[in-house]
Amino acid sequence: MKILSVENLSRSFGGIKANDNISFEVEQGSILGIIGPNGAGKSTLFDLITGYTKADKGKVKFFEKNIFGLSPDKISNLGVGRTFQKLKPFADQTLLENVMIGAFVKEQNIKKARDKALEIIDFVDLIEKRHHFAKELSTGQRKRLEMARAMAIEPKLLLMDEVTGGVDQKTIPGLVELIKKLKKTGVTIITIEHNINIIMEISDNVLALDQGKRIAFGPPKEIQKNKQVIDAYLGTFDAA
C-alpha cells in the first residue's frame, strides 16, 4: 500500500528551481533513501512534503489524503513526523521534557505521557541522559533526541534529514542500527543521507536528485549502476 505519493512537486526560489517536477511513491513499511549532492534539493523536498515551505505546484498524497498546502502542525497531526538537518531540540528543556512534548499529541495524561516518553528514550538508548538539558547533549545524542521526539507523536511516516551527518565515525553505526530498529516497529521512513554505503545498506528504494531534478528512482542496486547518479556524484569529464 502506498503511504505517500508525490506528483510533479515544484518550488523555485527566485530563478533557481530547488525542486523541479519531483514525483515518487513510498510503500508502507519501507525505507526510502534520498541522495544527491549539496544543493540538490533534498531538504527542500522534505520542507515541501511537511508543509514548512509552500510548493508552487504539485500533489502530495498521504494515504490517499491530499496534504498539499496544509500547515506543518496539521500534517504532523495526520502522522508525519520529521527531524531536522540543522538540529532543533528544545534546548532549555531536558531530554525527557523534549520527548514528553511529542508524547502529549497522543497521550493527554501527563504521567502516562512521561512513561511513554521514557519508553521511547529507552528505545533510542538514552535512558541515563533523560534529565539532561538538550543543550548539554552531544550532536549524536541530539540526533537520537530528535528521533525520539518525532517517534513520540506515533508517526506512520517519519522523515529524517541526515541522521548521520555531522557526527563522528564511531557514532554512525549506532545510529544506523537505530534506523533499522525503527523500521521493525512498522513505521515508514524517508531518510536523506550523504553516506552512500549507509543508503545502500538500509534502503528499499533510493531517490536520487541533482539540481532540483529527479535523476533516478529504484532499488539501491540499480541506482548504484545508474550513469546519471555516478556523474552527479563523481562529476563528468565532458569537456564541453
| Contact flag: residue 130 with another protein (CB under 8 A) | yes
Residue 235 burial (CB count, 10 A)? 9
Binding residue for another protein, selected from 11, 42, 82, 144, defined by CB under 8 A = 82
Q: How far is the CB of 143 from another protein (least distance, A)?
A: 13
Q: How far is the CB of 72 from another protein (least distance, A)?
A: 4
Nearer to another protein, 65 or 131 (CB): 131
Residue 152 burial (CB count, 10 A)? 25
Nearer to another protein, 137 or 198 (CB): 137
Nearer to another protein, 38 or 108 (CB): 108
What does the alpha-carbon distance between residue 61 and residue 230 come to, in Å, rounded to a whole number?
A: 30
C-alpha cell at 212: 532540483
Binding residue for another protein, selected from 142, 143, 144, 149, defined by CB under 8 A = 149
Q: How far is the CB of 91 from another protein (least distance, A)?
A: 6
What does the alpha-carbon distance between residue 42 and residue 11 come to, in Å, rounded to a whole number?
A: 12
Contact pattern for another protein over residues 163 through 202, marking x by CB under 8 A: ----------------------------------------
Q: Which of residues 41-60 bind another protein (CB under 8 A)?
A: 50, 52
Nearer to another protein, 82 or 144 (CB): 82
Binding residue for another protein, selected from 5, 17, 27, 133, defined by CB under 8 A = 133
Contact pattern for another protein over residues 92 through 111, marking x by CB under 8 A: xxx--x--xxx-xx--x-xx
Q: Which of residues 6-45 bind another protein (CB under 8 A)?
A: none
| Contact flag: residue 131 with another protein (CB under 8 A) | yes
What does the alpha-carbon distance between residue 167 and residue 25 come to, in Å, rounded to a whole number?
A: 30
The residues that touch another protein, with contacts defined as CB under 8 A, are: 50, 52, 71-73, 76-77, 81-82, 84, 88-94, 97, 100-102, 104-105, 108, 110-111, 113-115, 118-119, 122, 125, 127-128, 130-133, 149-150, 152-153
